[in-house]
Amino acid sequence: MAEKEQQVHPLAPADKHPRSDEESASSLQSKELKRKKRIKYAVYIAAFAVFQTAVILVFALTVMRVKNPKVRIGRVTIETMETNNTGAAAASFDLKFIAQVTVKNTNFGHYKFDNGTMTFLYDGVIVGEAIIPKARARARSTKKLDVTVEVNSRALTTTTGLESELSSNLLTLNSQAKLKGQVELMKVMKKKKSPEMSCTLTFNVSTRNLQDLNCK
C-alpha cells in the first residue's frame, strides 16, 4: 500500500507576548511627562506674553508720556542798582542784573526751543524785557542760561506806589516768559510744548541784594 504523502504546512507565526505591567506603566509615564512639558511650555509662553504686555504698557506710560518742561529763574546776580525816593524828583529805579534761567526737562527726549521773551513788570506796567536765547535741554536734564536784564521806571505814569515801597527799602518786580519748542523722542516722535513762567522778585534796595524769589 502506497504511503500517503504527508503535507507540510508552514509554521504559524508565534503569538506576540502581551505587554507586561512595567511596560504599560512606563508608556503612561512617558505620555504624562510629555503632557506636563507641553503645559509647562504653554505657561512660559503665556507668562512671557503678559510680561511683554506689561513692559509695553510701562513704556507707553513713562517713556512715551511727554510732559511740559519747567522754566524758572534760578539765580539773580545784581550788577548795578540805582533808586531815588528823596527830593522833589519822582521816585525811580534803574537796575541791571544777570538772571539765570533754568529749563528743566524731565522727558526721555530732548527739548528744543526757539528764542523767547522774558518780560518784567512793576505794578502791571512793563519796565523791561530780555531775550532767552534758543537752545536745547537734553533728556532728563536742566539747561541753564544766563540772561542780562535791564529794567527801569521810565514807563511808569504814576509813582505813588513806588514811593511807598522804596520807603520800606523794597522793590518788587514780576517776570513772565513763555517758550515754544518741541520734545523729540527717539528721533521718531515730536510733540510741541510751550512752558510758561511766572516769577516774583523782591529786591532789598538798602543792601542791594535779592531778598526773595518765588516762581511757579
67-96 residue pLDDT tens: 999 999 999 999 999 999 987 689 999 999
Question: What CA–CA distance (Å, rounded) separates 172 from 14?
Answer: 115
Question: What CA–CA distance (Å, rounded) separates 173 from 128?
Answer: 10
* Average pLDDT score over residue span 151-161: 95
Question: What pLDDT was estimated at residue 1?
Answer: 46
Split at pLDDT 50, 70, 90, the class of 7 is low
Query: Which three three-digit cell numbers place residue 141?
Result: 536734564
List all residues 6 or more positions away from 163 whose beta carbon is below 8 Å from its beta carbon.
Answer: 85, 90, 91
Residues 99, 78: contact at Cβ < 8 Å? no
Q: 171 pLDDT exceeds 60?
A: yes
Question: What CA–CA distance (Å, rounded) separates 215 from 90?
Answer: 30
DSSP letters along 153-212, please? STT-S--HHHHHHHHTTEEEEEEEEE--EEEEETTTEEEEE--EEEEEEEEETTTTEEEE
191 against 87, higher pLDDT:
191
Query: Which three three-digit cell numbers place residue 2?
Result: 502506497
What percentage of the chain reaches a pLDDT higher than 90? 65
* Average pLDDT score over residue span 199-205: 98
What are 124-141's pLDDT values in tens digits? 999 999 999 999 999 999
Question: What pLDDT was estimated at residue 11?
Answer: 57
* Average pLDDT score over residue span 143-171: 96
* Dihedral pair phi/psi, residue 64, rounded to 5°: -85, -5
What are 172-184's pLDDT values in tens digits? 999 999 999 999 9
- C-alpha distances in Å from residue 14, one per residue of 10, 11, 17, 187: 12, 8, 9, 79
What are 20-58's pLDDT values in tens digits? 666 676 777 788 888 888 888 788 788 777 777 655 555
Burial of 109 (0-12, 13-18, 19+ CB in 10 A): buried
Question: What pLDDT was estimated at residue 39?
Answer: 85
Question: What CA–CA distance (Å, rounded) separates 32 from 95?
Answer: 88
**Mean pLDDT for all residues in the chain:** 87
